[in-house]
Structure 1
Amino acid sequence: MAGLTCPDICPDPNKKEAPQRVFLEAGAQRTAPSPHAAPYTPGLVVPPEKKVYPPGAPPIYLPQPTDSTSGDILGMGPTGPWAPGHMDWTPQAGITGVRPVVDKYSMTRYSTGEWRKNNQYTLTPRATDKAKALDESIKRDLDNAFKNMNNKQAESNQNLDSRVKDLRHWKKKVEQTVEAIAKEIQTLDEDRAKLKGACRILMLPEAISRECLELRTHRYEPDMVRDDAEQELIKEVAIVGEIRKLFIQTLQKVETQMAENKAAKVNIETDWADKMHTLKIDNQNLAMGDDSSLILWHPGVARWPENATSLEYWEHYCSESIRNCDEVRQKSEQLRGDLMTAIIKGSQDMKIQGDRTNSALADTVSATQQMCDKLESNLKDNLQTIADVENLIDHLKASLRKVDERNKLVMTRLHNRNYSRPSVENCRDKAQYALMAEAKFIKETADSLTDKQRQAEAVRNELMKYRGELEKDIACKRKSLNIDEDRIARVRAHMPTPEEFANA
């Protein structure tokens, strides 16, 4: 039953007595009494002591290492500047429900430590730090932005320079192709002129053969026989017709080929002009800088044009345009070979058949006088042609003098505008373009007229040479006629040779 007893009612005799605990009365403090503690005791008020702060302490308006947030240091008592009662401000002074001590002098809510902490918070340069950070960030971003822009501009300049080199490479190839096709057109035109001359020359042997046949129809009845001479004359006329047909067909092919050559030349020149214009633009863009006076705002240009092509298609187009032009030129060269072959082979066939006819007509004299009349008629036409050509040359000289006057006029105008207009007034206006176009046209006209004059003089020289040959042949044949009265031999002596066909 001993374990069931209450120690407070029935104390254990064997247990030592615990020390007696002492409790403080209501309102008592554990620390030393304050000078203002009740009751008032005279002589306890001490003089003020100078506060000593540790070395390196911040200013007195900022938090100090000795600050405390406890309210017990005030030592509230019945006497002094505070009303009697319990201090109720703490580090949680702003919490709702805490009542500060109030008297007629002040309303206390915060401690000195809290006041110093508030001063430190107020003096902390929050916006200034943000401004400094923002300044550093902006400067760093600006440096990176301009560095990247410089890199991009350098890359663009490098690509533009590479593009300019590519354009120059293709432009050079196109220029070579243009020169080749232009030379081919000129050569083909000369060969075409030879072919036309051969066609004109072909009229002479045909006329001679037909004249001989016509003369033989006037033979007397006993001589109206179909002999070898007449057979050869008929065969000669047929050969001339076949050669003329071949010449006409070849001339049609030449005309078609000439049109293809000119079309190819136009296409390749258009490509060349486009490349020149593009090269000028890219060179201008490559020479531009940030301080260029040509740069302007162009909104909406940073997009792909509707007619823009790919680089692969551009390279394909450049190579294809050159290849097409070369194919046309090679075809033209082959046609020129066929043309000269037709002229040479045709003239050789004409020569062989003419020799056969001349051999058959060795004993025929009925057509000799008719051929002499034909030669005299040709000489008369030749003299009239020479007179006409000389009149034409005089007219060309007078025209060239007029063109020179026009040329001096436009040069004077251009000189006045180029060197007399001041400053920005010296601009490329429509009048300047018109004067430049006029000067170009006058120069081309003068060159064309000079070329025409040269051609006319060459023709006149040929006519004079041909005139001498005609007069010499007529005199020779008249003498031969007086000797052996070989009229047909005199007529057929003017049959064109293969060299005349080739050099027509």
Structure 2
Amino acid sequence: MPHPPTCAQAGGTMAQTDVLLTKQPAPQTVPACELPPKLYDVARNTGAYTSSGLATAGFRTAKYLVDEWFQNCYAHYHQAFADRDQSERQRHESLQLAAETQTLAQRTQEDSTRKVGERLQDMHCWKSELQHEVDELVAETDRLLDQKQRLESSLDATAVPFSIATDNLQCRERRQHPDLVRDYVEMELLKEAELIRNIQELLKRTIMQAMNQIRMNLEQKETCEMDWSDKVEAYNIDETCGRYHNQSTEVQFYPHSTKLEESASTSETWAKFTQENLCRAERERLASVNLRGLIDCILRDIAEDLRLQCDAVNLAYGRRCEELEDTRFKLKQHLHKTLCEITDQEHNVAALKQAIRDKEMPLKVAQTRLYQRSHRPNVELCRDNAQFRLVSEVEELNMSLMALREKLLEAEQSLRNLEDTRMSLEKDIAVKTNSLFIDRQKCMTHRARYPTILQLAGYQ
């Protein structure tokens, strides 16, 4: 295929055309839509040069003039030159436009790749922050779960002290009168039972609060994980997009990909969304940390309060047992003395009875004498000194017997009183022994199972 003439060749052609134009006469101007006048005349076979001879009939047809022929050639030359010049100008413009668009496309692609890289860095930073916050939430939730386990262990541990306190109160209800008193031991036991009930209610409320906080932590963790998962997926997509180049084989046309979705977020809302997730997660994590600190204080105070109350109850038991022991010891001493006095009084009663028996024979003798002397005859029945002495002797003996019998009655009554006192003392000693057995053997032995301060604090 022949190449189009260059500018130099086009210039030479124009020079030759100018030479020809100087040698030939100037063509006449012909209207674009009409035939030349001469041709018009020839066609009509009229005018100055018309001929109607039969000899020229075969050659006289409607033909162009020479000037018209040259003019037509010149028109073709000019049109060819104009088309070549326009084509050459278009080629230069096309080459320049192709180079400019190539440079623009390369620069735009590099800028887009750089923007994608910056986006990857931003997503990596936020993804790292989310991952760090998720790890912190997981660790904090595990620590809070441990604290919740401590609360549950402490709540279980309070069941033993409450059982001990109620059992002690029930056991002390089996004390006998007059030891069935509302002493300071019972008051301390009632305080202990009330304290344990209040502690159990506090522990239950704290466990519910810990469960709610754990639920909030898990919700924020799930939110951060979903955000992290979305960012990982977007990161992988952008990373794949960042590796695309003009020689990639998996690229193709997507004419409608430039259309933005109505639900698409902006850079500000995108960053604000993740920042709000991180803020909420951090807020819940700090609330969890504060709750753990509160749980530590609660468990420590609970353990200290229960142990202090336990010591107070044990001290009250010790004091009460000492009082009971001292009272029983004194009662035993009084019982021993009472028994000795009973023995002496029994001997006294026996002696009085013997003394009464000893007075009966002299009385019999004196009364017999008086009876026999009453049988004296006539004047011999005389009130002599012997008679008066016998009468006075009988009266003295009767008075002595009366006094001895009264003293015997008093001694027997005193003996009965001593026996009643002995029975009362023995009963009181038995009551004190029973009270000591309940307080020392039942209650204090049961209180030896009281949990340690570590168990009350929730440690296994």
**TM-score, L = length of structure 2:** 0.61
Instruction: Give the Cα separation in 2 of the matches to 1:60 and 1:115.
Output: 14
Instruction: Give the Cα separation in 2 of the matches to 1:175 and 1:268.
Output: 8
Amino acid at match of 1:141: L
- Going from structure 1 to structure 2, the CA distance change for 1:187 and 1:117 (only over 3 Å counts) comes to same
2:443 matches 1:488: yes
Amino acid at match of 2:115: N
Instruction: Output aligned runs, 1:271-290, within 5 Å.
Output: 271-290=227-246
Greater per-residue helix proportion: 2
Offset at residue 60 of structure 1 (A): 9.5
Offset at residue 280 of structure 1 (A): 1.0
Name the counterpart of 1:120: 74
Name the counterpart of 1:256: 212
Instruction: Give the Cα separation in 2 of the matches to 1:134 and 1:257.
Output: 75
Which one of 51, 55, 66 corresponds to residue 23 of structure 2? 66
Name the counterpart of 1:451: none
- Going from structure 1 to structure 2, the CA distance change for 1:294 and 1:114 (only over 3 Å counts) comes to closer
Offset at residue 335 of structure 1 (A): 1.1
Q: Which structure has the larger Rg? A: 2
Q: Secondary structure in 2 aligned to 1:300?
A: helix
Q: Secondary structure in 1 aligned to 2:25?
A: coil
- Going from structure 1 to structure 2, the CA distance change for 1:66 and 1:330 (only over 3 Å counts) comes to same
- Going from structure 1 to structure 2, the CA distance change for 1:91 and 1:181 (only over 3 Å counts) comes to closer
Residue deviations 1:32-81, cap 9 Å, x none? xxxxxxxxxxxxxxxxxxxxxxxx996699715333349xxxxxxxxxxx
Instruction: Give the Cα separation in 1 of the matches to 2:150 and 2:17.
Output: 119
Instruction: Output aligned runs, 1:84-99, within 5 Å.
Output: 94-95=36-37, 99=47
Offset at residue 486 of structure 1 (A): 4.3
Offset at residue 205 of structure 1 (A): 0.7
Amino acid at match of 2:159: M
2:216 matches 1:268: no
Residue deviations 1:363-396, cap 9 Å, x none? 667xxxxxxxxxxxxxxxxxxxxxxxxxxxxxxx
Instruction: Give the Cα separation in 2 of the matches to 1:358 and 1:58.
Output: 135
Amino acid at match of 2:226: T
- Going from structure 1 to structure 2, the CA distance change for 1:312 and 1:109 (only over 3 Å counts) comes to same
Residue deviations 1:127-173, cap 9 Å, x none? 44444333333333333333222222122111111111111111111
Note if contact 1:62-1:120 (Cα within 8 Å) is conserved in structure 2: no
**TM-score, L = length of structure 1:** 0.56
- Going from structure 1 to structure 2, the CA distance change for 1:251 and 1:102 (only over 3 Å counts) comes to same
Note if contact 1:201-1:501 (Cα within 8 Å) is conserved in structure 2: yes
Note if contact 2:144-2:288 (Cα within 8 Å) is conserved in structure 1: yes
Amino acid at match of 2:141: I
Instruction: Give the Cα separation in 1 of the matches to 2:449 and 2:169.
Output: 16
Instruction: Give the Cα separation in 1 of the matches to 2:26 and 2:254.
Output: 69
Instruction: Give the Cα separation in 1 of the matches to 2:160 and 2:178.
Output: 30
Instruction: Give the Cα separation in 2 of the matches to 1:281 and 1:358.
Output: 72
RMSD: 3.2
- Going from structure 1 to structure 2, the CA distance change for 1:136 and 1:219 (only over 3 Å counts) comes to same
Name the counterpart of 1:141: 97
Name the counterpart of 2:108: 152
Instruction: Output aligned runs, 1:84-233, within 5 Å.
Output: 94-95=36-37, 99=47, 101=49, 104=56, 115-124=69-78, 125=80, 126-233=82-189
Name the counterpart of 1:38: none
Amino acid at match of 2:75: Y
Which one of 337, 348, 353 corresponds to residue 293 of structure 2? 337
Note if contact 1:101-1:107 (Cα within 8 Å) is conserved in structure 2: no
Offset at residue 238 of structure 1 (A): 0.5
Note if contact 1:181-1:325 (Cα within 8 Å) is conserved in structure 2: yes
Question: Identity, % of aligned pairs?
Answer: 21
Name the counterpart of 1:501: 456
2:313 matches 1:357: yes
Worse-matched range after superposition: 276-285 or 117-126: 117-126
Note if contact 1:195-1:247 (Cα within 8 Å) is conserved in structure 2: yes
Amino acid at match of 1:232: E
Note if contact 1:63-1:120 (Cα within 8 Å) is conserved in structure 2: no
Offset at residue 345 of structure 1 (A): 0.4
- Going from structure 1 to structure 2, the CA distance change for 1:311 and 1:350 (only over 3 Å counts) comes to same
Offset at residue 260 of structure 1 (A): 0.8
Amino acid at match of 1:213: L
Instruction: Give the Cα separation in 2 of the matches to 1:251 and 1:193.
Output: 9
- Going from structure 1 to structure 2, the CA distance change for 1:485 and 1:210 (only over 3 Å counts) comes to closer
Residue ranges of structure 2 left out of the alignment (5+ in a row): 1-12, 42-46, 322-435
Name the counterpart of 1:372: none
Which one of 261, 268, 274 corresponds to residue 305 of structure 1? 261
Instruction: Give the Cα separation in 2 of the matches to 1:256 and 1:245.
Output: 17
- Going from structure 1 to structure 2, the CA distance change for 1:261 and 1:63 (only over 3 Å counts) comes to same
Offset at residue 110 of structure 1 (A): 7.1
Instruction: Give the Cα separation in 1 of the matches to 2:455 and 2:248.
Output: 66
Note if contact 1:254-1:335 (Cα within 8 Å) is conserved in structure 2: yes
Name the counterpart of 1:12: none
Q: Secondary structure in 2 aligned to 1:223?
A: coil
- Going from structure 1 to structure 2, the CA distance change for 1:58 and 1:339 (only over 3 Å counts) comes to closer
Q: Secondary structure in 1 aligned to 2:246?
A: coil
Instruction: Output aligned runs, 1:468-483, within 5 Å.
Output: none
Offset at residue 287 of structure 1 (A): 0.8
Instruction: Output aligned runs, 1:365-380, within 5 Å.
Output: none
Name the counterpart of 2:8: none
- Going from structure 1 to structure 2, the CA distance change for 1:107 and 1:65 (only over 3 Å counts) comes to farther
Instruction: Give the Cα separation in 2 of the matches to 1:346 and 1:304.
Output: 61
Offset at residue 355 of structure 1 (A): 0.4
- Going from structure 1 to structure 2, the CA distance change for 1:216 and 1:278 (only over 3 Å counts) comes to same
Q: Secondary structure in 2 aligned to 1:222?
A: coil
Offset at residue 348 of structure 1 (A): 0.5
Instruction: Give the Cα separation in 1 of the matches to 2:234 and 2:69.
Output: 77
Note if contact 1:195-1:251 (Cα within 8 Å) is conserved in structure 2: yes
Offset at residue 492 of structure 1 (A): 1.6
Note if contact 2:171-2:442 (Cα within 8 Å) is conserved in structure 1: no
- Going from structure 1 to structure 2, the CA distance change for 1:248 and 1:68 (only over 3 Å counts) comes to same
Q: Secondary structure in 2 aligned to 1:490?
A: helix
Amino acid at match of 2:176: Y
Note if contact 2:138-2:221 (Cα within 8 Å) is conserved in structure 1: yes
Amino acid at match of 1:122: H
- Going from structure 1 to structure 2, the CA distance change for 1:297 and 1:60 (only over 3 Å counts) comes to closer
- Going from structure 1 to structure 2, the CA distance change for 1:242 and 1:60 (only over 3 Å counts) comes to closer
Note if contact 2:120-2:238 (Cα within 8 Å) is conserved in structure 1: yes
Offset at residue 174 of structure 1 (A): 1.1
